[in-house]
Structure 1
Amino acid sequence: MWKKSYFSTNAPKLCNRKTYLIFVLFLSFLSTTANAQESRLAEAPIMIDDKPITTKYIMREGHLLVPALFLKHTGAFVDWDEQYRSVVFRNRGTMFALPVGKKYSDDYVRGTWKRHSLPIETVEFNGEPFVPIVNVARKLGMDVRYDAALARTFITTNIDIQSNLIERGNMTEKLVALTFDDGPESRYTPQILDILKEKGAPATFFVMGKQIRQFPEEMKRIVNEGHGIANHTWNHPDLRRVWSQTVKEEIQSTQAEMAKVVGKQPDLFRPPFGAYSKSDIAVFNELGMRNIMWSVDTLDWSGLSGDEIVAIVNRDISPGGIILQHNFQAEARLLDGTVEALPQIIDDLRQKGYKFVTLQTLLSD
């Protein structure tokens, strides 16, 4: 079922009756118990490495079930095997699968799959698999406890993943990077490029794979005019809500399309919406991608006017700043303010002593 071999020497650990009773009382206190027939599920926060993360949940026979993808917040890889209709979990040397509708797990141990019983089955709600979080977390080598005084469930993941988050560059010099997300396309990208060329200001474009394929000439122009390029996935999904393998494919397919069209594969990546899980960070690291955020959010996507965008930039800019803007196609023309503001942003910041550079230059140190 899976090409790469993983193994675990730990058998599943089942919660005792007292632990489950506590979970029942806790969730009953928060909300009316939900079940798979309800159209709207209840929600509750679960502490992961002391950080509260709210999730939907289902109670079944005294067991707490959460969306399988929620476990990505722990740092474990979470995938879907369509052939066996199973959720597959991986963490270091441990790998196991939970088939939907079954009260067992298939554990990959020393090159073979071995079946182990579980006290509750994995269920499907509105096409989404829900898994017993206590059993899954413990099988992944995590610690789970319930604090009655705080009315909170705590999971200590025991997974250390190195973050490579970057929100700004070197603050000792007055350098600034303009960045544009979601292109290329044919309405705003040419206008932005015209302004940048006229002003002699380089920028960096976080491009989407499907947009490169649809607008290869605009992509070539970005590179030919000396601007930086970076990866922004193929389809712009919320990475927290897609399987780990999908995250990897979103990045790799866009890298391949950039290489095909302009012969470059940058190591800069920005997740759509700036959203990602702990597991996604592990994927970024595996692929050698630096996770680029921003220090100035212009909120231009919301249809702000040019004057409003300029005011935000002048208020929030500082040395080493990374300015977030967009260049997507929109019939509502929400980015007219971006084009209107750009010349003024460049003029204002230059008057303040700033120099415009690509992200590659800003982060070269």
Structure 2
Amino acid sequence: MINDTEEGLSGDFNSLMLQENPSESGRPTSSQPGPSLKVSPSIQCPLDQLFKRSLQPNLNSQRALDRIDPSHPFFTKVESICQENEWPEHRFKNFRRLICGVRNFPCILLQNPKNDHLEYNEMVRKTKTLRWIQATLNEIGLELDDIIIIDLFPLLTDEWLDQHPNERAKYIKDMFQLTLDFIQEFKPPIILSCQCWKPTKKVRWGQFEHNDTQKLRSSMDGAKLQSVSGAYFGAHFTYVVQGFHPAKWGWVKEKERIGLQITLRQIIHSLFNPCATWQMDYKQALEIKHTDKIHSIKMLIYTLRQRETEYENIREEGLALGMFKNHQGSTSPEAWVALKNALDAIIGNISRNSKEPF
């Protein structure tokens, strides 16, 4: 992995002077939004500053839980790719489900899928990386479905690459472009990079090179420093938190493995704990609104029943005096019975979802 250095921040984070090589920045013109860029060899800031001046204020400004819609047109292209290649149906379904997380939250970038020919729950169960991420998220009250998970090279398993040596160069390029399309379409504000791809891997990954892979780089040294980099993808600026792939600790001794697990867990908790708190507060507010609406509906029904009883009393009194016999627009007793039954059914349904007695 690449060694990086940590630099302090000053001033508002939204106008942070990020530093990077202009040949790799993809920097937009001055009319486009985002932090101003200053030419320098590195581009780093600490994770706690990202939390204080970007992540938390962004969450505080959110008023709705914005999930990626499974019917979004982006998935039509992906489904066509899978069908053209006669890839397993679960490959597309798993890709889509992993992506359809909450857009308000940071997303996690891995390298390429594993076991994606299996049904979703079975895939997670048999994939150590997803299982570990799931367990780590569960510790802070989130589920895997709450988070967007995208691969650097989606849809391409190691097995497929090894079995198709003559086609992999094209597909590696195309699938990486799919990830870039995802970033520009859904505009994730923060990406936690846990992929471990390096251009020196010449066998399986061939001679693939692309400037944007550097923008999405991971770094074990950067992760230990809890460093954050940033770059433009088209007109969209995103922060990239440097992590590393959980498979890394399978290649080190136990003492180092424990240290690496603690490092990555701390980064995930730092990024997603505020999201878990925000989601819990959002659900509680939603529960209050739900209870208020149930109460309003019940009061309307109660008032309608009262008015119906008053109406019937007036009508019966009038009929006794020879009135209303030819009254146009009067409601038949059968209609009132039908309405009463319908209202009783409504009360029964909403009462099952409410602690408030009627």
TM-score by length of 1: 0.26
The structure with the larger Rg is: 2
Q: Compare the two structures and name the one with the higher strand fraction.
A: 1
Q: Compare the two structures and name the one with the higher helix fraction.
A: 2
